[in-house]
Structure 1
Amino acid sequence: MNKRARQLILGCLVPVLILLGMCFKPVYTLLTGEVIKLQTKPVDPTDLFRGDYVALRYEAEDVPIQFVEEAVVSKLGNSWGEIEVYVLFEEKNGVHIPLKVTLRKPAKGIFLKGTLILYDKTNSGKEFVLIKYGLEKYYVKDNTGTEWEKASEKGKIVAKIKVNNGYGIITGIEREK
């Protein structure tokens, strides 16, 4: 094989390898991850161009301040910047709830990597942080979006998520019983 043919083969292989590398983490998570369930909260999706989907908001996004490590609170300080955090979960009554928010990746347990985007207080004075996990949309079969939206408005959807090493993928949604 001459030098020109090797360069052509290498030139074709590089983009293919890059695309395969982009698929590795999601596929590996789907194959080896642990399934957790997160309770959703009502939300109103309003995008006509993306097909039928359910916009999801999770109860686990609003974490009371007592579950947040002091290092996270001190790093947040008075800034409004986003902070990368890890949220350790425990199962309670069939769904997973936050147990601890930390800056360091937990050595064991089920956890999701998220972005702390807000520190606030409720009207009653309770402090909490808002964490986004990147799991806000789930696409559903055509012509079923309306019924899922109605269930979402009532907060009656539980999302099934495969989690591996802090990375999560929504594998399905179900109506709460």
Structure 2
Amino acid sequence: MKKAHIWLPVVLVAQLLILGAIVGKRERIMANGDVVYLKTMPVDPRDIFRGDYVVLDYELVYQARGLMQESKLSAEKVYLKLSTNQRDVANLVTVDHTAPKAGLFVRGFAPSIDYNNLPELRLGIEKYFVEQGAGKELEDIRGEAQSWQTPLEMRVALGNDGTPVIIGHRFSPIRTRTRFADLEDTLPQRDRSPQHLEFSIENNSLATLSVFDNKTHCGFTLVHAETLRPVSLNRDCSEAALERTELSAGATYQVTIDLSQPQWQVKGQSDPLSLAGVDGAWQGFRLLYRDQSGADDGEQIISARFFRRGGID
């Protein structure tokens, strides 16, 4: 008993020192770290024991998982090299098991690798705690499936070793809506695959937004929902001319995609398939628009995830 009494204060002091070191590191990063914005695709759980929070899915993590699977990158720690655009939004450049010698990067953790499935990847900033009741307000602005959605952009400070710390948030100046034109919002999901996907982009800022597209919608690409990798097989847009549409504040650009057309076919077990014929639980998709203005720091706009039977997340 006497030995236990002797060691108990030592253990408590050690725990306090460790906690103090962690808090001190976070404070140093918040004060001195490079600041970027990470675009998210959040969901809305609630932890009744820890207060309100929003769970964050980062857009660049989706891309990194696809690159890791493609290159068979296996490492417990991975480093995502970043570039930023004129709004300080971070874009993924590369993923590696070693930290870049220069430039911006964020450290992630990949605890297990199974190349039959997508790699796990976490940045350690997937929960954003807010004041009681504020989480619901954030999610109301973020939106729901088949309604207008405004992505959160998390303000993140990066330490010298790539450790990220959330220091705030803002909303994207662009909001979107994804729905199937074949289905009415008030009807339950039907046992058939709708053909026509509507994707709307609204300029939610005061600045003018330019959208580049044409009649065959070569400004857009069909991508895998979990990796954002292109999946369309018959896209022939290499020499297609794109027309510029200027969106003033509050203006909307809407495309209606006929998913039965050959240009939207995806890989099947033997032959190319239209989305109506695709099977498999992983087969969720998104529509991606990438800025075609010619600027190196252009952003991309991603639709909500949708499935072959008309479901939309």
TM-score > 0.5 by shorter chain: yes
Instruction: Calculate the TM-score normalised by the size of structure 1.
Output: 0.72
Counterpart residue number, 1:156: 151
Q: In the TM superposition, what whole-angstrom CA distance separates every residue of 1:53-109 from its partner, at most 9, and x where no partner exists?
A: 211111011125785598xx3453xxxxx7310111111352101111011111111
Counterpart residue number, 2:171: 175
Paired letter, 2:167: T
RMSD across aligned C-alpha pairs, in angstroms? 3.3
Deviates more, 1:109-118 or 1:24-33: 109-118
Matched, 1:104 2:98: yes
Paired letter, 1:37: Y
Kept in 2, the 8 Å contact 1:69–1:102? The answer is no
Percent identity between matched residues is 28
Matched, 1:147 2:142: no
What residue ranges of structure 1 are gaps of 5+ in the alignment? 1-6, 77-81, 122-126
Kept in 2, the 8 Å contact 1:118–1:131? The answer is no
Please give the alpha-carbon distance, in whole angstroms, between the structure 2 residues aligned to 1:38 and 1:29: 16
- Structure with the higher strand share, 1 or 2: 1
Determine which structure has more spread, i.e. the larger CA radius of gyration.
Answer: 2
Deviates more, 1:112-121 or 1:31-40: 112-121
Kept in 2, the 8 Å contact 1:53–1:140? The answer is yes
Please give the alpha-carbon distance, in whole angstroms, between the structure 2 residues aligned to 1:24 and 1:58: 26
Instruction: Calculate the TM-score normalised by the size of structure 2.
Output: 0.43
Matches within 5 A, 1:1-177: 14-15=13-14, 17-63=17-63, 68=68, 73-76=71-74, 83-92=76-85, 94=87, 95-116=89-110, 131-153=121-143, 154-164=149-159, 165-177=161-173
Q: Following TM superposition, by how much is the alpha carbon of 1:37 offset from its aligned partner in structure 2, in angstroms?
A: 0.3
Kept in 1, the 8 Å contact 2:42–2:54? The answer is no
Q: Which has the higher contact order (CA 8 A, sep 6+)?
A: 1
Kept in 1, the 8 Å contact 2:84–2:90? The answer is yes
